[in-house]
Amino acid sequence: MPAVRLALAQMNAVVGDFARNVETLDRFRHQAAGVGADVVLSPELALTGYPPEDLLLKEGFIDAAELALISLRDAEGLPPLLVGTVVSEAEGAVSLAPSPDARNVVSEEPWPHVANALVALSDGVIATATKRLLPNYEVFDEQRYFHAGVGPHSIINVNGVALGLLICEDVWMAAGPAAELAAQGATLIVVANASPFARGRREEREAMLAERARETGCPIAYVNLVGGQDELVFDGQSVVVDATGAVLARARAFAEELLVVDIEARESGAGVRLDVAYPRDERRARAASVNSLAEPASEIAEIYDALVMGTRDYIWKNGFRSVVLGVSGGVDSSLVATIAVDAVGARAVRGVAMPSRYSSPGSLTDAYELGARLDVEVTTIPIEAAHAAFAEMLGAGLGEVPSGLTDENLQSRIRGVILMAISNATGAIVLTTGNKSEMAVGYSTLYGDSAGGFAVIKDVPKTMVYELCRHRNARAREAGDPEPISIEVLSKAPSAELRADQRDDQSLPPYELLDPLLAGYVDRDATAGELIAEGHDPSLVARVARLVDAAEYKRRQSPPGVRISKKAFGRDRRMPITNGFRVPRP
């Protein structure tokens, strides 16, 4: 059977940075030339970055994408490139020019029908495939921006192998676009993807690809984006399966990589012939790694790496060079500090200990110990003077000294002011340390512990925080390094330390009971009745549901953070703040 050497460019794109994305594509294309690849496949919207969202509505954005594409056309001595980009559609035919008659249905201003496309380049545009199925669930909102693909499916022919071109969602449907391509003569399906990470997503992808390969009788090459984009993290893990669904090659997770694969497929005369004219034959023997197969990591390892990459990319892609966070000696701030060091290095991380009259000596010691283990500078700024001054001011103005929850929140807000002041003075971004369990039930202070630029663990339940800490410690032991998080931090009862002898379980159910309820009510959208039927205590279900519903206004004001679940607060879960519906009491 004929074979194709395919290079899958698992790249980290930057939304809207056409120059950088062209440079990255060009770098991968040169690498592919060095190993004699026949063709290079890039991820979905590799040229624009994914998701471009309302940039697609900005004047000049589509034109800039076209110019970037043109800059990739002339590549003498390099293999053909399949590049993910946007194109304009006019009267059912794909073109690279805007349609003057199309109008924006929102503003009634001229606005072209834009398609999500995969363009084959080799001395010009050889073929263009447009995305047929536009996802409009979870974090996806493609029907807002894109016109569903029209015209015949695109097939290109390389060495007698007919490559059918698809984009992401199009490969997920049984008896859909992939089957149509096979019926038109395609013998190898290549898919450009921007599939965000979530727990269990890799297994779902590979199971689907195996099913589609058996359905079509074709090998499938699936390239995925890698990197962080606001809340989303793309894990890469590009993969190639043979016609039986067996995995032939897999790229690493959370790293850029050129995955080079030799794929045999049935001979076919279908498609536009793509002549591969550069001198590739003598370079094939020099290829160091072909058909490499990266072993999948454990789920908890994938989640940790997703948090590190999401944090790193948010920081550098937005122009920050350092971070600052409050370190309390607690498990949440210890985990966030450790992730920050792994993301940007110890020299770029500053911890700030802000003890109050209620802070235990052990907590301050644990904060210093964390700094020593991570080699991070920890600055101490006590808040007692500010706390006393605010209490005096409020007492004079209100006629009584603040107490109870008012006094607790006051301390948190003083700490928020300090961190934001350091941010203003140094240019460092403030990392918040609240977890998903606390955000779900509103166990946080607006403009206090929620104040900051990026919420690293906002999608991580409290019980998983401990799992991640233990995983990171185990990773350090395996590497022969000191464990970053001490046993004292992991063994003490969680506490905000905003009043004497405070513990979280005085205000909340124990986390081992709370987190499974939140996983049902938030992540699965289970009803109270369904949760009770699963064995949860009815009164606890009602209490937790009321807390979650009442805290929406707080969550709406929280900073973005890394999404690791299939139902994160923000893009996934869009609840109204003003909302009169409440779960009935059991």
Select which of 44, 206, 302, 408 is catalytic: 44
Q: Is 382 left (phi over 0), alpha (psi -120 to 50) or beta?
A: beta
Q: How much of the chain is in helix, strand and coil states, percent to nearest 5?
A: 40, 20, 40
| C-alpha R_g of the chain | 26
* Cα–Cα distance, 458 to 431 (Å, whole number): 11
Let me know: does 547 contact 521? Beta carbons within 8 Å.
no
Measured in degrees and rounded to the nearest 5, phi and psi for residue 515 equal -65, -40
Give the DSSP per-residue string, 236-267: B--EEE-TTS-EEEEPPBSS-EEEEEEEE---
The answer to whether the CB of 66 falls within 8 A of the CB of 94 is no
Q: How far is CA 545 from CA 16, 457, 491, 508, 579, in A?
A: 40, 22, 29, 13, 13
Whether residue 203 lies in the annotated active site = no
Q: Report the Cα–Cα distance between both ends of the chain, in Å, rounded.
A: 66
DSSP string, 496-520: --SSTT--GGGTS--HHHHHHHHII
Q: Which two tokens stand for residue 418?
A: 């300090």
- With beta carbons less than 8 A apart as the criterion, state whether 44 and 192 touch: yes
Q: Is 111 helix (H, G, I), strand (E, B) or coil?
A: coil
Q: Do 363 and 517 meet the contact criterion of CB atoms below 8 Å apart?
A: no
**Active-site residue among 66, 89, 131, 257?**
131
Let me know if 131 is a catalytic residue.
yes
DSSP H/E element including 574: none
Torsion angle defined by CA atoms of residues 269, 272, 277 and 282, in that order, rounded to the nearest 10 degrees: -40
- Chain centroid to Cα 309, Å, comes to 8
- 458 assigned to active site: no
Task: Give the active site residue among 59, 89, 109, 168.
Answer: 168
Task: Count CB atoms within 10 A of the CB of residue 135.
Answer: 14
Q: What would the two tokens of residue 200 be?
A: 């269990």
The most distant pair of C-alpha atoms in the chain lies apart, rounded to whole Å, by 88
Which residues participate in catalysis according to the annotation?
Answer: 44, 131, 168
